[in-house]
């Protein structure tokens, strides 16, 4: 009943705004039919989800001052308060009796209707049946109730058959047929106006749905672009980045400890080499044999200088000078052998191996420094990625919501568009007149 009341209120508003209707079948003023009675069958086809029509609603409309009353005033030139005495209607089928379904709307999938539209049609039938159940008086049967809008198992489009009987009083203009046609035209224009308002509301919803779909698509594209800029084709897994940071910190700590240990060994090796060299120098400086050998070398060196002078003067031969040179060389070799032997006896033979180890350690230190620098750089990058991952995770959530919003708006738009295509304008036609 609530839906019926809303429909009646809407009809009243439309009636006050509608213009006078002129019947295409109505004769001109010069061709008045001179009839005081007329009757016909009126077929009303409507969409129950758009117009909640039944015999009570139609009777109210036809006898209202905005429909019947206006036609009485315009056609018959009598007061509108006599409209209730001029004509009567009798429901023959449809809303107050058996359902009359249109052949084109049978339950088999119609030609040209896709599966979705057919499902929409069945959904409209289901809603119609629920409406019929809600408008039936308690304890009444839906087959006999005058307020039953959609009987069980009926199609979405419904039909009501009415018998319209016009009986004019003697004081009225003899234009029963003109009045009958004008009355049907007025009902038709009223119902069409209600349908157009209903359709306009759906079209407004479609416009809103299209705007929402456009807005949701733009929002989703912007968020997806931002996500790509943040990730730069990298996987920003929050847990994985935390694990990488922990691993890098461990590796940095291990590298620093290894570097410190290696530096201790380098310092110790350098110190050891320095100590051996100092000890060797002290022993060589205090070695008596080496001192005497140096004296002999110095003496032979002086003899060599004198011999070279005498050889230039021609007092001695060149072979004699060579003998002195050979002796000087033997003494120098002897001294070097002595120094080497003495050096080896106090650890000089370790210097070479220590120098080799020191060189290896220095190379290793350079490699460790490069590795530590790389690890620290990776750690800084990972910590920066962690901040990006937080932003990425939050934006991903918003992106999923934007995607869902887009899906819902597209579904809303498509459903509204299909609903508009499925809307059927009401038809009011006269099947025959007497």
Q: pLDDT tens across 85-114, in order?
A: 788 888 887 643 333 433 333 334 444 444
Task: Please name which of 57, 160, 56, 43 lies closest in space to residue 99, comparing C-alpha atoms.
Answer: 160
Answer whether 395's CB lies under 8 Å from 223's CB: yes
Look up residue 65 and give its two tokens.
């001052």
Residue 65, pLDDT > 70, answer yes
Instruction: Provide the percentage of residues in the chain whose pLDDT is more than 70.
Output: 74
- The residue count of the chain comes to 434
Segment of 89-98, 211-220, 241-250, 281-290 carrying the highest mean pLDDT: 211-220
| Over residues 192-219, mean pLDDT | 91
User: Which of 331, 334, 309 has its CA nearest to residue 320?
Assistant: 309
Q: Is the model's pLDDT at 172 over the cut of 70?
A: yes
pLDDT, position 43: 92
Residue-wise pLDDT tens digits, 383-418: 887 888 888 888 888 889 999 999 999 999 999 898
Q: pLDDT value at position 154?
A: 38
Binned at pLDDT 50, 70 and 90, residue 19 comes out as very low
Provide the pLDDT for residue 143: 35
Q: What is the pLDDT of residues 107-145, one digit of tens each?
A: 344 444 444 445 555 555 555 555 455 444 444 433 333
pLDDT (0 to 100) of residue 120: 52
Mean pLDDT of 240-251: 86
- Tell me, what's the pLDDT at 118? 52
Q: What is the DSSP letter of 164?
A: E
Q: How far apart are CA 28 and CA 100, in angstroms?
A: 35
Give the highest mean pLDDT range of 122-131, 216-225, 227-236, 304-313.
216-225
The residues with which 87 forms a beta bridge, in sequence order, are: 166
C-alpha to C-alpha distance for 190 and 186, rounded to whole angstroms: 6
Strands 158-167, 37-46: pairing kind:
antiparallel
More confident residue, 234 or 154: 234
More confident residue, 375 or 235: 375
**Alpha-carbon distance 188 to 172, whole Å?**
24
Residue spans in the chain of domains classed CATH 1.10.287: 239-414
User: Mean of the pLDDT values across residues 38-57?
Assistant: 87
Select the more confidently predicted residue: 311 or 153. Answer: 311
Instruction: Please state, in angstroms and rounded to a whole number, the distance separating the CA atoms of residues 239 and 230.
Output: 17
Least confident of 128-132, 198-202, 321-325: 128-132
3-state DSSP call for residue 316? coil
What is the C-alpha separation between 368 and 262, in angstroms, rounded? 9
Average pLDDT rounded to a whole number, residues 221-236? 82
> Average pLDDT, whole number, for the chain?
76
How confident is the model at residue 404, as a pLDDT? 92
Predicted local confidence at residue 128, as pLDDT: 53
Query: Which of residues 60 and 352 earns the better pLDDT score?
Result: 60
For domain 239-414, give the CATH number: 1.10.287
Higher pLDDT, 110 or 230: 230
Task: Supply the pLDDT for residue 432.
Answer: 65
Q: pTM of this prediction? A: 0.50
SS3 category, 267? helix
Asked if residues 56 and 137 have their Cβ atoms less than 8 Å apart, the reply is: no
Which helix (DSSP H) or strand (DSSP E) does residue 10 occupy? helix 2-17
pLDDT band for position 23 (cuts 50, 70, 90): very low
């Amino acid at each position: 009943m609530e839906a019926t009341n809303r429909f009646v209120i809407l009809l009243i508003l439309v009636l006050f705004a509608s213009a006078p209707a002129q019947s295409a079948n109505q004769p001109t003023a010069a061709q008045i039919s001179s009839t005081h009675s007329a009757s016909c069958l009126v077929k009303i086809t409507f969409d129950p989800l758009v117009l909640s029509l039944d015999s009570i609603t139609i009777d109210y409309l036809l006898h209202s001052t905005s429909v019947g009353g206006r036609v009485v005033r315009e056609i018959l030139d009598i007061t509108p308060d006599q409209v209730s005495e001029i004509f009567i209607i009798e429901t023959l089928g449809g809303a107050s009796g058996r359902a009359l379904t249109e052949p084109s709307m049978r339950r088999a999938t119609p030609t040209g209707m896709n599966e979705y539209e057919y499902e929409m049609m069945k959904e409209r039938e289901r809603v119609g049946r629920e409406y019929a159940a809600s408008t039936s008086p308690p304890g009444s049967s839906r087959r006999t109730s005058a307020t039953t809008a959609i009987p069980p198992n009926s199609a979405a489009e419904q039909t009501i058959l009415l018998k319209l009987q016009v009986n004019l009083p003697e004081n009225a203009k003899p234009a029963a047929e003109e009045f009958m046609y004008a009355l049907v035209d007025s009902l038709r224009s009223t119902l069409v106006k209600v349908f157009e308002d209903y359709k306009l509301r759906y079209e407004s919803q479609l416009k809103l749905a299209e705007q929402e779909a456009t807005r949701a698509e733009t929002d989703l594209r912007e968020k997806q672009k931002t996500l790509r800029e943040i990730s730069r084709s990298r996987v920003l897994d929050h847990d994985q980045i935390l694990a990488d940071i922990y691993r890098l910190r461990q590796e940095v700590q291990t590298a620093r400890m290894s570097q410190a240990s290696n530096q201790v060994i380098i310092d110790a090796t350098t110190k050891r080499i320095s100590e051996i060299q100092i000890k060797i120098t002290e022993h060589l400086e205090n070695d008596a044999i080496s001192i005497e050998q140096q004296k002999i070398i110095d003496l032979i060196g002086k003899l060599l200088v004198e011999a070279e002078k005498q050889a230039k003067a021609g007092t001695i031969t060149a072979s004699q000078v060579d003998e002195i040179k050979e002796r000087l060389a033997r003494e120098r070799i002897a001294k070097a052998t002595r120094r080497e032997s003495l050096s080896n006896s106090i650890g000089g033979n370790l210097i070479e191996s220590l120098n080799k180890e020191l060189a290896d350690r220095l190379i290793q230190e350079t490699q460790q420094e490069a590795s530590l620098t790389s690890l620290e750089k990776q750690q800084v990058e990972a910590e920066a990625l962690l901040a990006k991952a937080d932003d990425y995770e939050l934006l991903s959530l918003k992106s999923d919501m934007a995607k869902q919003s887009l899906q819902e708006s597209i579904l809303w738009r498509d459903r509204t568009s299909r609903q508009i295509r499925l809307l059927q304008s009401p038809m009011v036609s006269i099947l025959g007149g007497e």
